Amino acid sequence: MRVLVTGGAGFLGSHLCDLLIAHDHTVVCLDDLSTGWRTNIEHLATSAKFSLIEASVLEPVDIYGRFDGVIHLASPASPSAYLDRPIFTLRTGSEGTRNVLEFAVAKSARFILASTSEVYGEPLIHPQPEEYWGNVNPAGPRSVYDEAKRYAEALTTAYRTYCGADTGILRIFNTYGPRMRPDDGRVVSSFIDQALNSRPLTVFGDGTQTRSLCYVDDLVHGILAMLDSSEPGPINLGNPVELSVVEIAELVLELSGSSSRIELHPLPQDDPTRRRPDITRARDRLGWNPQVSVREGIARTVEWHVKEVEKLAS
Ligand code: NAD
Ligand code: UDP
């Protein structure tokens, strides 16, 4: 297949590009490098199966030739990134998604949307199945991301229903692993960066809020399974093992051998108190099941951060 990956220089996107190329597909990565890093994909630069187009999805997408698949990941994803650029985030989720959908329709390519567990907001049903419509504060600070993704789901559904587009919606739960920037602001990369630099681990609130952490290798296999299927979704992708934020901090301290302490900071507004995916659909319809335990995944991620620090020092 020839596949367009928007946001392909980011954390998830770069792992997805690796996996697609390992499966002998040809990849065009389109990224504005706003939160992505060129170094995430520099090892692919010599591959005849890979090319990078530095551009924004806010402009119409026009790339010559046949495409079989389009995987739309381009969007700020970390709360600190989307709160820094709220209007850009809304525009990327809305206008940007429309531009990418138009491209997929023009190429008769299957379109996969990277939506998010954030569409469930502060969930009143636990764990979250896809049938749940969510509980998002439309005027809260996180709405610039949550509502952009909800709109992107609506747009994707409309293109499928009214324009005959072949689409699939994935709702991705918290994913972590190598290549998430140390300054990205999300929980695992922040805690590991703090632990390795002997700084206190900044737990927000009392740390009893929960998240379910999926290792990136597992996640990108789920995206590929969705591309290979004809499922419309939405389908949740995530690892259902649920941990409190304090438990995540303690695990990072143990696996990094750090003696940093835990420091409590105010809880950001509308920070969801719990989150755990029901992945019955992903298991039944995609044959997907996460394989990497949280201990193993965090240990691998710590190892990557240590190497990055060594690289910077040399
Ligand atoms: P990331 O910030 O590492 O990657 C996002 C990529 O999109 C970056 O390379 C960035 O430069 C690019 N980008 C942003 N806006 C763009 C624009 N207007 N035009 C072109 N490129 C643009 O984040 P990530 O964690 O890899 O997330 C990738 C996707 O997966 C996002 O859509 C995110 O919402 C979704 N997602 C991620 C998670 C997670 O836990 N990692 C969870 C749920 C959903
Ligand atoms: N969090 C934290 N300290 C940090 C970063 C995040 O306690 O330095 C908490 C955050 O308040 C949330 C959870 O960890 O409850 C996951 O945050 P993240 O930003 O990774 O993703 P979210 O699920 O909120 O989008």
Q: 247 CB under 6 A from ligand 2? A: no
CATH number for 303: 3.40.50.720
- Give pLDDT, residue 208: 98
The set of residues, in sequence order, having a beta carbon less than 8 Å from that of 159 and lying 6+ positions away, is: 101, 105, 111, 165, 167
Give the domain range for residue 189.
2-313
Q: 33 CB under 6 A from ligand 1? A: yes
Model confidence at 112: pLDDT above 90: yes
Band the pLDDT of 13: cuts 50, 70, 90: very high
**How much is the pTM?**
0.98
- Which residue's C-alpha comes closest to atom 14 of ligand 1? 75
Residue to probe by mutation, ligand 2, list 171, 175, 204, most atoms within 8 Å of CB: 204
> Which ligand 2 atom minimizes the distance to the CA of 268?
11
Q: Residue 33 C-alpha to ligand 2 middle, in angstroms?
A: 23
DSSP state of 128: B
- pLDDT tens digits, one per residue of 65-104: 999 999 999 999 999 999 999 999 999 999 999 999 999 9
Band the pLDDT of 310: cuts 50, 70, 90: confident
Model confidence at 311: pLDDT above 90: no
Q: What are phi and psi of 174, to 5 degrees?
A: -45, 120
The set of residues, in sequence order, having a beta carbon less than 8 Å from that of 57 and lying 6+ positions away, is: 6, 30, 32, 72, 74, 92, 96, 97, 99, 100
Q: Residue 218 C-alpha to ligand 2 middle, in angstroms?
A: 21
- pLDDT tens digits, one per residue of 171-185: 999 999 999 999 999
- Give pLDDT, residue 19: 98
Model confidence at 230: pLDDT above 90: yes
- Which residue's C-alpha comes closest to atom 16 of ligand 2? 187
Q: 276 CB under 6 A from ligand 2? A: no
Q: 190 CB under 6 A from ligand 2? A: yes
Q: What DSSP string runs through 211-230? A: EE-EEHHHHHHHHHHHHHS-
Number of compact structural domains in the chain = 1
Q: Residue 69 C-alpha to ligand 2 middle, in angstroms?
A: 32
> Which ligand 1 atom minimizes the distance to the CA of 57?
19
Q: 76 CB under 6 A from ligand 1? A: yes
> Do the Cβ atoms of 10 and 36 come closer than 8 Å?
yes
Catalytic machinery residues: 145
